[in-house]
Amino acid sequence: MPDQSDKKNTPSLELLATLYTLNQLESAAHDLPQIAFAGRSNVGKSSLINALARRKTLAKVSSEPGKTRSVNLFKVHPDGFCLTDLPGYGYARRGQEERKAWAALIQRYLEHTPSLRALALLIDCRIPTQESDRIMAEFARARSLPVIGVLTKADKCRLQERAAQAKTWERLLGDKPVVVSSVTRMGLDELWVRLREAGRTAETPLNAEISTGAPEHA
Ligand SMILES: Nc1nc2c(ncn2[C@@H]2O[C@H](COP(=O)(O)OP(=O)(O)OP(=O)(O)O)[C@@H](O)[C@H]2O)c(=O)[nH]1
Ligand SMILES: [Mg+2]
């Protein structure tokens, strides 16, 4: 049972918008900085958002892949940036038309959200690297979008397996992934630190000049 001080230090999340269509995406025009949670269907994106918020039903979760069908923006308090829960990619059993519509929604979101500051790329620690994950990592690299690698479902994975996956992803992303479990809460504090750092960079360009320590002119 987490103690009260832990709860006080954990930011809270508020559902800000649920967007189903390209039109809604365009008209929403949210200019708050955003960190998108991307990953294959069933990797645990929505569960991780719930675990980060210490809430059970904030984001919709299902054991059946393809649960999240919309782009969902959760505002982080008190920081002011958003975590964006995306539909998962790579779910073969959906109809082709539906998969195309989702892919278009995800792509449009990623390509046309100027306030997107980073991508949290979620990878199931039990599943070998998939082409779709590599494509997503390459997409971010090509746009100089920072990627926070997140290995999910650590509770289901042996230590050795996790370490091997972490190495592979460190090579691909150039940075160590955070290993998490939404069940045991492993790695969540570390992930919050990484997310808050990435969310904060949104504010640095303006302030950076001011906080360099350069002497002021009278
Ligand atoms: N054991 C374990 N199960 C998890 C964990 N995270 C998620 N799950 C389970 O994995 C399944 C899928 O979780 P979701 O959070 O809905 O996955 P998602 O990535 O949002 O899936 P889509 O919305 O379909 O893209 C659910 O049955 C969750 O309970 C975890 O850390 N450990
Ligand atoms: Mg989901």
Reading the chain (218 residues) residue by residue, the pLDDT tens digits are 444 445 667 899 999 999 888 778 777 656 789 999 999 999 999 999 999 999 999 998 888 877 788 899 999 999 999 999 998 887 766 677 777 777 788 888 888 888 899 999 999 999 988 888 998 999 899 889 999 999 999 999 999 999 999 999 999 999 999 999 999 999 999 999 999 999 986 544 333 332 222 333 33
Ligand nearest the Cα of residue 125 is 1
* Buried/exposed code over 80-118 (b: 16+ C-beta within 10 A; e: otherwise): ebbbbbbbbbbbeebeeeebebbeebbeebbeebeebbb
* pTM for the whole structure: 0.87
Q: What is the pLDDT of residue 5?
A: 42
Q: Order of strands across the sheet with 12-19? A: 12-19, 71-77, 82-85, 34-39, 116-124, 147-152, 178-179
**Which residue out of 18, 40, 45, 47 has the highest number of ligand 1 atoms within 8 Å of its CB and is therefore the one to mutate?**
47
Q: State which ligand 1 atom lies nearest to the alpha carbon of 182.
A: 31
Q: In whole angstroms, how far apart are CA 68 and each of 48, 57, 156? A: 13, 13, 22
User: Does the bond joining 205 to the residue before it have cis omega, within 30 degrees of 0?
Assistant: no
Q: State which ligand 1 atom lies nearest to the alpha carbon of 69.
A: 23
**Which residue out of 52, 55, 61, 179 has the highest number of ligand 1 atoms within 8 Å of its CB and is therefore the one to mutate?**
61
Cα Rg of the chain (Å, integer): 18
Q: What is the pLDDT of residue 29?
A: 56
Ramachandran quadrant class, 108 (left: phi over 0; alpha: psi -120 to 50; beta: rest) = alpha
Ligand 1 centroid – CA 212 distance (Å)? 43
Ligand 2 centroid – CA 12 distance (Å)? 19
| Domain range summary for the chain, segments of one domain joined by + | 4-199
Ligand nearest the Cα of residue 88 is 1
Ligand 2 centroid – CA 209 distance (Å)? 39
CA dist 174 and 137 (Å) reads: 11
Q: What is the pLDDT of residue 129?
A: 85
Ligand 1 centroid – CA 62 distance (Å)? 7
CA dist 77 and 93 (Å) reads: 37
- Which ranges constitute the DSSP H helices of 12-74? 22-28, 45-53
Chain-centroid distance of CA 205 in Å reads 22
Ligand nearest the Cα of residue 187 is 1
Other beta carbons less than 10 A from residue 174's beta carbon: 11
56, 48, 54, 55: which is closest to 84 by C-alpha? 48
Q: What is the pLDDT of residue 145?
A: 93
CA dist 106 and 191 (Å) reads: 23
CA-nearest residue for atom 29, ligand 1, is: 63
Ligand 2 centroid – CA 116 distance (Å)? 19
Q: Does the beta carbon of 46 lie inside 6 Å of ligand 1? A: yes
Q: Does the beta carbon of 40 lie inside 6 Å of ligand 1? A: no
Other beta carbons less than 10 A from residue 138's beta carbon: 11
Ligand nearest the Cα of residue 184 is 1
Q: Return the CATH class of domain 4-199.
A: alpha beta
